[in-house]
Structure 1
Amino acid sequence: MPLIASVSGIRGVFGDGLDPAALVRYASAFGAWLRQQTEARPVVVVGRDGRVTGDVCARLVTATLQSAGCDVIDGGMATTPSVAMGVLKHTADGAVILSASHNPAEWNALKLLDRNGEFLGPDEGAEVLALADEGVSGQTVGYEDLGTYASDDLLPYHIEKILDLPFIDPAVIAAADFEVVVDGINSVGAFAIPAMLRALGVDDVEVLNADVTGLFAHNPEPLPAHITGITSRVAESGADLGIVVDPDADRLAFVEDGGRFFGEELTQVIAADFVLGKTPGAVGTNLSSSRAIEDVAAKHGQTVVRSAVGEIHVVRAMQKADAVIGGEGNGGVILPALHYGRDALVGVAIVLQHLAETGRSLSEIRDSYPAYAIAKHKVTLTEDLDADALLATLAARYEGRVSTVDGVKVDLDEGWAHVRKSNTEPILRVYTEAGTPEAADALAERFKRELLAG
């Protein structure tokens, strides 16, 4: 399987495209790019999720970066947002995160961050890929200029900075006496989320899939069909809520009291509801996110800016609009007051603070929001399918009601449909939203038929 290089990183199946030579090639290119950005010796933070291949990949990458003349700070197993915070802690020049996010266990990836702890933009990413294509092995330094190696646990600093936020008060959260169930997906969320909860004063925590083996207990994408274990457990135990993360803990979803899936689409909505009540300002999100974000922003008299899908695109739109909160409908919460990146840990803190201050349950808050349903379908790309041609035909069919900023998004009276090429898999994503799950699924099936008919 070929590697997939995009704004979401360089990812592939380990042993089938993503092999030691590829890891060395791209890590060398990133090291060379960092050396072009600074006169001093670059400092690079490296972290990984709990995947089986993570350790061997990390050892290859850290050694390669040292060989390229970079000083390495190895965060070991760490959440993606913890690595981003590690860049800020160490005033580093960049970072490499070894995680394929929601992809299955056989996948891994290199995600590249800049000196701000943000993902490389398209231009910067293109420069790194060009260096990889040119071959940079000749730029390996001599023995006297090899980079140094040190290790650091990045989680305590990450949690400390969340607790320093002016609107997070562990005493208020502790007084609410929450009972919480966590699905750790056998990766870094299994230790990072409980640590965050303990710091917030939550003592009654049950962790499912708590062994950090990288052997995921279920499909790692936090969708309803994949998380029946935690929804059942929340219902059985009478817990106040359940917390679900993906393997690198940048995406966050909740399970309501009673066991109903709160939905990753509503994660950024409830976070925005809380933050806008404390700090007025714009909200940033992507084209595939629910219309519910506009409803919540309007409630607080604020506006929403939308971008192409991809964390860095949302971040750039947020920076341009000086947004105070943002994220993506896949469960991403981005709080600029902490850092510009999706962060499940800060999302947990925000939502628990909101619940504690309002005295309302997740189910009560869910019922107060307008009812929308998102359907997430896909079309697998094969050699006989020309994705660009299919998208162009679809756009022409809906001329006047379409955005082509990122694939094709069609706004309809009954909802919307967004069809785009994935940044992470060889598929076309077909996302739709309507008033009910049945209507959203029907809309997705309709657009898949129209897409393939083209």
Structure 2
Amino acid sequence: MALMISVSGIRGIFGTDLTPENLGRFTAAFGAWSSSGKIVVGRDTRVTGQICEDIVVATLQSVGCDVVKVGVAPTPTVAMGVHKHDADGAIIISASHNPEEWNALKLLNGKSEFLDAEEGEKVIQISEEQSYQYKPFDEIGSVEVDSQALDYHIQKILALPYIDQELIASKDFTIGLDPVNGTGGIGIPAILEALGVDTIHAINEEPTGLFAHNPEPLPEHLQDISALVKEKECDLGIVTDPDADRLALITDQGRLFGEEYTQVAAFDFLLDKKPGPCATNLSSSRAAEDIAKKHGQQCHRSAVGEINVVQKMKEVDAVIGGEGNGGVINPDLHYGRDALVGVAMILQLLAERDITADEYRATLPDYEMRKSKMQLADVDGDAILQKAQAVYQDLDPDTTDGVKIDFEDGWVHLRKSNTEPIIRVYSEGTTAEKAKVLADKVVKAVQ
């Protein structure tokens, strides 16, 4: 596996692909791109986090940047740090849901958003050309430590006009938590306690960076938290990925809420408070449209990727957005996925409607999603996408990102992978069998 370089940063296995050399080169390029401004630096709990942080901070200083270190913190907390310090950008040292041997640099601009394509390509160009300059001893940047970044983040959540701390506290919620040894073990208890939740039963809460199970919050990895919720009679189970920007939920009956339905619930909550459009990506559940229609609003679709959703949100002035991987984007706080504000919104919803998590989940539309792939080998992937568009032209397929075909009872989305010689085939139907039938139908038509 070679180093993965994209407009959002670099990612790889530390010591083989992700080395001190390329960490330094890419960080220097980002520092130069930011015109040697103020940069916030934070990291998740990975074992290699400290050494990566040391390299990143020293390199930023070397190209003249002033650095604000927030230490081990959720990705959305680092993002909020950009606003707090009026910074010119941020570097988040986290490989998100990748295994513990991985690490990465995730880059934010001065608006606290992931770099767009033009910004990212410029950083890549500077890195490849090594057209940055190190400063003399009397021009190197400074370093300050912000130990209050998480508290700032939480206070901003509590200040949202639709979050009622006293109401949530009055419900005496009992919460189960699995932060898979990541920063959610720091951030989620803090926001729960600030909301007046006194009883938290946690597993895998130690922030060691040695993940007790596969860190991606998918159903096959969540048996233990489901059992804990039932055993401890919790009102809700909360699961985060290692950098706590993705949120998955378990109902009070120990059943999976469905990662796709985190943003659906957030949409339902906020559209009830603030009428307006919402936005998500093309591969997210049709339930997002259903909820938008329930509130008399339109759900807009973007290409896959957080920055693409953010750009669509700004384009249509969306009041809420997200991704079906458990990402909630609330622009009242910042334009980034944020599990902490997601937790506050879900608890507020349950408290206001006086309903259990299991009862609430039963009110949402039910769809089943299937994810498969087509191996390309010597086949032209673009030709397959063009054929899909031609075969289903009467259904007016969406070609924003690959080809998405909407059927009456489901949809199929084909898009080329950026990292493998495959076409990803996502499908959704009213049942798992329907999702499979639709995907098989489309694949057969284009092969």
Same fold, TM-score > 0.5, yes or no: yes
Secondary structure of 1:18's aligned partner: coil
Segments of 4+ moved more than 6 angstroms: none
Give the alignment partner of residue 143 of structure 1, picking from 123, 134, 137: 137
TM-score by length of 2: 0.95
Give the alignment partner of residue 81 of structure 2, picking from 69, 80, 86: 86
> CA shift at 1:92, angstroms?
0.3
Letter in 1 for 2:349: H
CA contact (8 A) 2:7 2:119 kept: no
Letter in 2 for 1:9: G
d(CA) in 2 for partners of 1:77, 1:63: 17
Judged with a 3 Å threshold, the aligned counterparts in structure 2 of structure 1 residues 283 and 165 are, in CA distance, closer, same or farther, namely same
CA contact (8 A) 2:7 2:121 kept: no
How many percent identity over aligned positions? Answer: 56
Give the alignment partner of residue 172 of structure 2, picking from 149, 174, 177: 177
Letter in 1 for 2:46: R
Q: 2:350 maps to which residue?
A: 355
Q: 1:60 maps to which residue?
A: 55
Q: 1:123 maps to which residue?
A: 118
Q: 1:47 maps to which residue?
A: 42
> CA shift at 1:422, angstroms?
4.2
Matches within 5 A, 1:145-294: 145-153=139-147, 154-294=149-289
Does structure 1 residue 338 correspond to structure 2 residue 346? no
d(CA) in 2 for partners of 1:381, 1:196: 46
Letter in 1 for 2:141: G
Residues 52-86 of structure 1: CA deviation (Å, up to 9, x unaligned):
22111111111111111100111111111001100
CA contact (8 A) 1:6 1:424 kept: no
d(CA) in 1 for partners of 2:226, 2:421: 30
d(CA) in 2 for partners of 1:316, 1:66: 31
Secondary structure of 1:97's aligned partner: strand
CA contact (8 A) 1:6 1:423 kept: no
CA contact (8 A) 1:4 1:425 kept: no
Q: 1:5 maps to which residue?
A: 5
Residues 257-298 of structure 1: CA deviation (Å, up to 9, x unaligned):
111100111111111111111111110111111111111111
Give the alignment partner of residue 395 of structure 1, picking from 384, 389, 393: 389
Judged with a 3 Å threshold, the aligned counterparts in structure 2 of structure 1 residues 64 and 399 are, in CA distance, closer, same or farther, namely same
> CA shift at 1:390, angstroms?
3.8
TM-score by length of 1: 0.94
Q: 1:409 maps to which residue?
A: 404
CA contact (8 A) 2:201 2:232 kept: no
Secondary structure of 2:304's aligned partner: coil
d(CA) in 2 for partners of 1:132, 1:270: 41
> CA shift at 1:429, angstroms?
3.0
Give the alignment partner of residue 374 of structure 1, picking from 369, 374, 387: 369
RMSD: 1.8
Judged with a 3 Å threshold, the aligned counterparts in structure 2 of structure 1 residues 392 and 215 are, in CA distance, closer, same or farther, namely farther
d(CA) in 2 for partners of 1:427, 1:58: 34
- Unpaired runs of at least 5, structure 2: none
Q: Which deviates more from structure 2 when the two are superposed, residues 384-393 or residues 140-149?
A: 384-393
Letter in 1 for 2:258: G
Q: Which deviates more from structure 2 when the two are superposed, residues 200-209 or residues 4-13?
A: 4-13
Q: 2:67 maps to which residue?
A: 72
d(CA) in 2 for partners of 1:48, 1:381: 36
Q: 1:38 maps to which residue?
A: none
- Unpaired runs of at least 5, structure 1: 36-40
d(CA) in 1 for partners of 2:118, 2:332: 25
